[in-house]
Amino acid sequence: AYGELIYSFILQIPEQHHIQIDSRKRLQWLQAAATDINAEAPTAYSGDLEYFANLSIGNPPVPFLALIDTGDGLTWTQCAHCRHCSAQPTPLFNPKKSSSYTALNCPNDKCKLHDPDGCNGLPPGTKCKYRKVYLDGTGTRGDLATETLWFGDVHVPGILWCGIQILLEILVLNQHTRGTKTEESSREQFLQEKERKTWNL
């Protein structure tokens, strides 16, 4: 009864209710996207609580160094038509050169699942849009598409965010408060020890 009382109280807090809704949406996405494929990828630790993995995107496969974000359900990369992009060691991904890249157009259930506002106010046939902001104030926005990801010789069909603009939040009251956004973002990344991990995709 005590636990039920606390749960009931939490549901009455608007911010907690919003977090609960986001968690349910993430669970729905994970359940829909889960496969029985196991893939192994070389990883590296930056020394700053960040892990990176080597993978490839598209057909033909183009190698990339990816930041592993366990709190995010989607894969995004900076694309060739990106504005205000951060520096990266590999060329920007060019969707026009990949035979497996397919932009998601509105209306689309996958678009609604990943970003409820992705098709709001857009006419049929328009590219599905996304906007993502992280707790550190950085973010990205662009087009939602399906694309093939490669982990060595293992390929996995998946959803890809194609970033066309990188964002930096300039007004942050604290680490958990969103504020006004402006364009631009850059960050140096240092790789130290290497290891291998197995990921269940």
**pLDDT tens-place string over residues 98-120:** 999 998 888 887 777 766 777 87
Q: What is the pTM of this model?
A: 0.61
Q: Mean pLDDT in each 10-residue stretch from start to end of the chain (201 residues)?
A: 47 60 67 64 75 88 82 76 80 91 86 73 85 78 86 77 57 29 29 34 37
Please report which residue ranges of the chain form alpha helices under DSSP H. Answer: 2-11, 14-33, 109-114
Residue 156 confidence (pLDDT): 77
Closest among 182, 132, 133 to 161, alpha carbons compared: 132
146 close to 162: Cβ distance less than 8 angstroms: no
176 close to 164: Cβ distance less than 8 angstroms: no
Task: Work out whether strand 38-45 and strand 154-169 pair parallel, antiparallel, or are unpaired.
Answer: unpaired
Residue 163 confidence (pLDDT): 73
| Residue-by-residue DSSP string for 48-63 | SS-EEEEEEETTTTEE
Number of alpha carbons in the 13 Å side-chain half-sphere of residue 74: 27
Residue 61 confidence (pLDDT): 92
Question: Which amino acid, 104?
Answer: L
Residue 158 confidence (pLDDT): 74
Sequence-distant (≥ 6) Cβ neighbours of residue 83 within 8 angstroms: 164, 165, 166, 183
CATH numeric code, 69-187: 2.40.70.10
Residue 59 confidence (pLDDT): 92
Residue 32 confidence (pLDDT): 62
Cα–Cα distance measured from residue 113 to residue 144, given in angstroms and rounded to the nearest whole number: 11
Per-domain residue ranges of the chain? 1-34, 69-187
